[in-house]
Structure 1
């Protein structure tokens, strides 16, 4: 008599998808924990106080990525482990949607480069205006200016958008007509950061010839940085795209095998 064996779900696909999503699940939980810790440090753990924050709060990015990663990790883990078609379809659909949106954003960003540049400059200038309102935003701007060796969106004069740094006669701040310390060119002879190095720097004129602060805008600095690091950026994007497509492939393969088993297929 011929021997028939019931078809089974591939253990390799099943546990590859499970293991991959365990990592996503734990990473998502970690990002959510960082979100609540950051808001707790700022004393804004209720909806009203969170919505009253001015400007762009970087914690929202961590929250969004963390929540999405956590949900996808949960759906992928349980869907693979329990061989649940609904969860696997949900996982596959969301990953496919994200991949499509990323691809569309990349194409549109390349086609409408000038418009994107204007929007980014406008976004940065708006957040320069609330630099002192949110400690996380302040740290983010400082980190970008120090790493990119830049100042403002288009240049140091963008700091006129901030009430503490503008050059108006009504401004009584000691930082009037200055820039944050992160705009300053570091002095190798000093180990301690001089937080007052940008005071009155724009009141002296000739900012373009200044040897104390960076005079290039951060948008232009990023445009100059990108070609020098194109292989790193392209590599990172390819890895992300590969992981997304591989996850979709595993999920769709499992769905097909589970459906085949439920249909009573044998080989």
Structure 2
């Protein structure tokens, strides 16, 4: 009789283990299908943007841009999400040991790199600030070279109410806006419209509002354009929104840890 009870107990334990394994399996599959679809969407947007700019028909044009092409973000992030999501989906559905290991190890590696980058960014704050300044100035030079880069800079300057890396005079780095005497551009000694202080009474965007504005003294410039640099404004924004920014990063980290735990749990059990 004791032998029969032991057999029933083992059987019930096996059923419970199988039930838990099945729940983990389909939960991990659902978790990754969303991840995979988001990656496919990002990748699709990036490839579509490249196709619109003719990059797919002429790959060498990638090297023509002097600044940062925002489409790269969609391509790289979308590609990584697509591969990871696909590996996680198939690994969970087929209970493939190799794909589950690949998913958890790669996700763990990304988490470790993010953690390392966060620590280094805190330790080398001044160096990061210098690199940000260098990055913005490089993109100021290439402002007219790519429509996506132009839209990104305009968005940043409008959102943070800033102009240039450290101020409007940084636009001297751009061949269209610099104040040299031999510059034939109509935008000479001006700034992009995104530097302009918006007039609530204006219904139509005035794209010429920054023309010749840097010919005036700084006190007069403040009436028409933002005179604070984007590096300082970005730092101020980070300080004002520190809890939100930290919450987003912690949330992403917890999702990654959750995904790793699910994959490891499924790998160690059978459905």
TM-score by length of 1: 0.93
Contact 1:176–1:199, Cα closer than 8 Å, also in 2: yes
RMSD: 1.5
Contact 2:214–2:221, Cα closer than 8 Å, also in 1: no
The alpha-carbon deviation at position 52 of structure 1 amounts to 2.7
The equivalent residue for 2:97 is 85
Q: 1:60 aligns with which of 39, 56, 72?
A: 72
Q: 2:264 aligns with which of 224, 233, 252?
A: 252
Equivalenced residue count is 259
**Distance (whole Å) between structure 2 residues aligned to residue 117 and residue 193 of structure 1:** 32
**Distance (whole Å) between structure 2 residues aligned to residue 132 and residue 151 of structure 1:** 16
Superposition pairs of residues 1-267 of structure 1, within 5 angstroms: 1=4, 2-3=7-8, 4-5=10-11, 6=14, 8=18, 10-45=21-56, 46-206=58-218, 210-258=222-270
**Distance (whole Å) between structure 2 residues aligned to residue 53 and residue 12 of structure 1:** 49
The alpha-carbon deviation at position 42 of structure 1 amounts to 1.4
Render the CA deviation track for 1:33-77: whole Å, top value 9, x for unaligned.
101111122122132223333311000011000000000000000
Contact 1:76–1:87, Cα closer than 8 Å, also in 2: yes
Structure 1, unmatched stretches of 5+, are: 262-267
**Residues 194 and 246 from structure 1, CA distance in 2 versus in 1: closer, same or farther, beyond 3 angstroms?**
same
**Distance (whole Å) between structure 1 residues aligned to residue 49 and residue 221 of structure 2:** 39
TM-score by length of 2: 0.92
Please state whether the residue corresponding to 1:106 is helix, strand or coil: helix
